[in-house]
């Protein structure tokens, strides 16, 4: 059994192909998928897609690469996260690879998401690219370890990953590379909600998170 923790099935190139994608998931034992929000104007589409399958879920958030989009507030994100299909906050984070210049707005947006996640008690989906130092600093300053989550688009070194390691019983597992400290528990919560049997089968469910959508991966960035 696999869980795709990061897909954008609402994107136009995928949305008209949901039946084929669902069939491909079945073929490859991908039993659950998390549809990631990238901006508020398209959130309705994300939720609509997530609702087409019992085991598809959603997140609420605004991507750090979306500069020209309505800025979310903490209150907005918290209210939107109440939706029964929403199990996480994001994707959020920092991206100094695709954007440059004064990116203070990106850092403020990231803080907004962490604050919302803490109030909503939901884990974070964090996109970090060429911005490891600020990502870790802001996570620490805002107490992101209180909610945990998944690091995504992660291109950093072992040294960067070390402080984020989770204390799971599988410390030798490659899954710890994308854990925030203490996040295994939170991810367990996500996946336990998705499938209660996961909690019994693996203490660190990140080892199950495998994306099999090559087309989806190509557009996520
Ligand atoms: Zn991303
Ligand atoms: Zn993405």
| pLDDT average per 10 residues of sequence, the chain (221 residues) | 90 93 93 95 97 94 97 98 95 95 97 97 93 92 89 76 53 34 39 41 32 30 37
Ligand index nearest the alpha carbon of residue 211: 2
For residue 134, the Cα-to-chain-centroid distance in whole angstroms is 18
3 state SS of 70: coil
pLDDT for res 161: 67
0.85 exceeded by pTM: no
Strands 56-60 and 30-35: parallel
Domains of the chain and any CATH numbers: 2-220 (3.20.20.140)
**How far is it, in rounded angstroms, from Cα 146 to Cα 183?**
8
pLDDT at 162: 65
pLDDT value of residue 3: 86
> What pLDDT score was predicted for residue 195?
43
For residue 203, which of 164, 221, 176, 163 has the smallest C-alpha distance? 176
Distance of CA 64 from the midpoint of ligand 1 (Å): 8
pLDDT of 150? 86
Task: Report CA(127)–ligand 1 centroid distance (Å).
Answer: 5
Report how far ligand 2's centroid is from the alpha carbon of 218 (Å): 10
């Amino acid at each position: 059994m696999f869980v795709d923790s990061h897909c954008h099935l609402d994107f136009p190139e995928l949305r008209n192909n949901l039946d084929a994608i669902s069939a491909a998931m079945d073929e490859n034992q991908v039993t659950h998928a998390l549809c990631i929000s990238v901006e508020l104007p398209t959130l309705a589409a994300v939720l609509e897609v997530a609702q087409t399958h019992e085991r598809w879920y959603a997140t609420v958030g605004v991507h750090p690469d979306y500069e020209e989009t309505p800025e979310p507030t903490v209150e907005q994100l918290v209210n939107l996260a109440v939706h029964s299909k929403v199990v996480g906050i994001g994707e959020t984070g920092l991206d100094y690879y695709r954007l440059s210049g004064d990116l203070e707005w990106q850092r403020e947006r990231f803080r907004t998401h962490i604050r919302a996640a803490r109030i909503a008690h939901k884990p974070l989906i964090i996109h970090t690219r060429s911005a490891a130092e600020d990502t870790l600093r802001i996570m620490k300053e805002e107490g992101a370890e209180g909610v945990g989550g998944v690091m995504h688009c992660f291109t950093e070194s072992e040294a960067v990953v070390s402080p984020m390691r989770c204390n799971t019983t599988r410390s030798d597992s490659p899954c710890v590379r994308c854990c925030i400290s203490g996040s295994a528990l939170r991810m367990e919560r996500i996946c336990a909600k998705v499938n209660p049997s996961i909690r019994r089968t693996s203490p660190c469910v990140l080892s199950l998170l495998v994306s099999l959508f090559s087309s989806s991966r190509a557009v996520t960035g």
